Amino acid sequence: MKVVICGAGIAGLTLAWWLRRTGAEVTVVEKAAGPRSDGYMMDFFGSGYDVAERMGILDELRRVAADITELVYADGYGRRVGGLRYASFQEMLGGRVLSVMRGDLETVLRSALRHDVPIRYGIGVETVRDVPSGVDVELTDGTVHRVDLLVGADGIHSTVRRLVFGPEESFLRSLGYHTASFLFEDQELAEEIGRRFVLVGVPDRQAGFYPAGKGGLAASLIHRCPALTLPADSRAQVLDAYRGLGPLIDRMLEHCPEDPYYDYVAQIRMSTWSKGRVTLLGDAAHAVSLMAGQGSSMAMGGAHTLATELLGADVESALERYERRMRPFVLRKQAAGRSTADWTVPREAWRIALRNRLFGLADLPGGRSLMGHTLRRLGASVVPSAG
């Protein structure tokens, strides 16, 4: 079977790894000029963790995992106003969780692929045409590939989705926030926060940062913004939105690069992810949003499910089964993302205070058991248990 995967992100690389094992002839095309290291830190559990275990890359991920001891809600001066110990979080998930930077996960997946699957950087998909024996995929370098399957794993702003299913506006549902993230270095700040993930929240805005390995730091920002266009100058927008949250955050903002990662906090909702021999995977199909978390985990779970269904089945019925298996997990996650948004970045000061206190309950045995139950239900794995 010949497959073109558009997008060498978390979903695309995972699918390439699994398809390579089935003997498929896989080409991955990636719009970026080369591997990208930016992105945020993820609490990696559920499907993603299970798939990584099956791929035999858990040790690599443990080697690059961040060593965070505590999530701390702080005021603008860094004084603790709530939070929870990371050990409590790990205990709630039976130890099957890692904190991994998105870029590190991508690097580990890429090296697991070795050179078995070519990744063609700086190339995207130009046109897609159904033909009786497959699908013709014209790439931006002018070459045309006749394949059995085209997979759009090209993220929330997917080009394959636009070409095959229609404009982004038909599927992208903003949750009313924008998010930004960037990596930076600041020795003094790094020493001050140590191994803690520090979050400063005020109504409608939350700014945080945490150690990102090798003495570096990573900033993670969310603010309420109903605008359905992204700013031309994302750095200016970041400074404008987060200045004044206190000296800690003002200092972090001094390091904001010209071009931070900046996007809507949004979900992709579609009635179907496949058309003929074209299918969508990961965020392209069903972004769940930062509010729900686990986008990478869902992407890896989806890749494993798709690859499994393609084994020994014709493409159309495999795509149908892939979607049938994934959709209930996606719908549950998306609903959770919508309902938790008001608690993640609340509008009201009283809600922030309550949220900070409730989080602390996880450090108590009764609270841990209650929160652990909810967390495990939300993080339920799409991957059947190995045993």
Ligand X SMILES: Cc1cc2nc3c(=O)[nH]c(=O)nc-3n(C[C@H](O)[C@H](O)[C@H](O)COP(=O)(O)OP(=O)(O)OC[C@H]3O[C@@H](n4cnc5c(N)ncnc54)[C@H](O)[C@@H]3O)c2cc1C
> Of the two residues 41 and 189, which places its CB atom closer to ligand X in the complex?
41
176: contact with ligand X by CB under 6 A: no
> Of the two residues 88 and 181, which places its CB atom closer to ligand X in the complex?
181
The least distance separating ligand X from the CB of residue 305, rounded to whole angstroms, comes to 14
210 vs 199: CA distance, rounded Å? 9
Q: Which neighbouring-strand residues pair with 147?
A: 135
Which is it for strands 261-268 and 172-185: parallel, antiparallel or unpaired? antiparallel
Q: Which amino acid is at 67?
A: D
279: contact with ligand X by CB under 6 A: no
By CB under 6 A, how many residues form the interface with ligand X? 32
282: contact with ligand X by CB under 6 A: yes
The least distance separating ligand X from the CB of residue 369, rounded to whole angstroms, comes to 29
50: contact with ligand X by CB under 6 A: no
299: contact with ligand X by CB under 6 A: yes
**Could you give the count of Cα atoms lying within 13 Å of 317 in the half-sphere of its Cβ?**
4
**Could you give the count of Cα atoms lying within 13 Å of 182 in the half-sphere of its Cβ?**
19
201: contact with ligand X by CB under 6 A: no
Token digits of residue 282: 């990961």
| Interface segment toward ligand X; rule CB under 6 A; list 8-16, 204-212, 324-332, 340-348 | 8-16
82: contact with ligand X by CB under 6 A: no
296 vs 251: CA distance, rounded Å? 30
- Range list of H helices, the chain: 10-21, 47-55, 58-64, 86-92, 102-113, 159-165, 187-193, 234-242, 247-253, 283-286, 295-310, 315-344, 349-360, 365-378
> Of the two residues 2 and 162, which places its CB atom closer to ligand X in the complex?
162
| Interface segment toward ligand X; rule CB under 6 A; list 28-36, 70-78, 91-99, 374-382 | 28-36
248: contact with ligand X by CB under 6 A: no
The least distance separating ligand X from the CB of residue 350, rounded to whole angstroms, comes to 27
Q: Which amino acid is at 19?
A: L
Token digits of residue 81: 């106003």
183: contact with ligand X by CB under 6 A: no
48: contact with ligand X by CB under 6 A: no
- DSSP annotation string for 181-236: EEEEE-HHHHHHHTTEEEEEEETTEEEEEEE-STTEEEEEEEEE---SS--S-HHH
75: contact with ligand X by CB under 6 A: no
321: contact with ligand X by CB under 6 A: no
184 vs 305: CA distance, rounded Å? 36
> Of the two residues 88 and 273, which places its CB atom closer to ligand X in the complex?
273
60: contact with ligand X by CB under 6 A: no
Whether 225 and 176 have beta carbons less than 8 Å apart is answered as yes
283 vs 3: CA distance, rounded Å? 19
Q: Which residue is nearest to ligand X (CB)?
A: 9
36: contact with ligand X by CB under 6 A: yes
Q: How many C-beta atoms lie closer than 10 Å to residue 12's C-beta?
A: 30
9: contact with ligand X by CB under 6 A: yes
Q: Is 37 helix (H, G, I), strand (E, B) or coil?
A: coil
Sign of CA dihedral 49, 9, 168, 3: negative
290: contact with ligand X by CB under 6 A: yes
> Of the two residues 27 and 159, which places its CB atom closer to ligand X in the complex?
159
> Of the two residues 65 and 88, which places its CB atom closer to ligand X in the complex?
65
> Of the two residues 293 and 368, which places its CB atom closer to ligand X in the complex?
293
Q: Which neighbouring-strand residues pair with 218?
A: 183, 210
Residues in contact with ligand X by CB under 6 A are 6-12, 29-32, 36, 38-40, 102, 124-125, 153-155, 159, 179, 181, 261, 282-284, 290, 295-296, 299
